[in-house]
Amino acid sequence: MGRSAPRRSRARLAAMVAAVLGVVLLVRGVVVEPREVASESMEPTLYPGSVVLVDKLGPRLGEVHREDVVVFTSPQDGRDSVKRVVAVAGQHVAIRDAELYVDGEHVDEPQVDHSRIDGLYFGPVTVPDGAVFVLGDARSGSIDSRVYGAVPLGAIHGRVAMVW
């Protein structure tokens, strides 16, 4: 009789550990996930080696907005990429002398170092339904929607919610 109490305690502990592990895996798979930034394309907002916490729930509910920094599967090479959404479905995007214009209006981008970009022109293009247009903050060295086009909403894994 004295041995059954320690067995029950071990069984309860094992069940609790399994439950906690299950919750952690569920949360990571569905709600939030840490990711490491691999490229320089989002400097100075994000640097290589930065760890970001990715909110996976919002984009699944269709909540992707201009200015969101998102993680998605790159249409160019199938790898995960991190970029800023600069336009959503139906909007017109153009870059004139390194300055971003959405629907004909100049967009102030304090995170972009325009002194490092010379004579960049692009567009105008219209973002198709079910997609977003993404650009890197380090505009001159970023491979983004200017190269591979708009990113389908289904390719977006999540939105960067926190950086550390």
Q: Which residues carry out catalysis?
A: 41, 83
DSSP 33-70: EEEE---STTTTTS-TT-EEEEE-HHHHTT---TT-EE
CA 142 to chain centre: 15
Angle CA 97–102–108, to nearest 5: 65
CA distance 3 to 116: 72
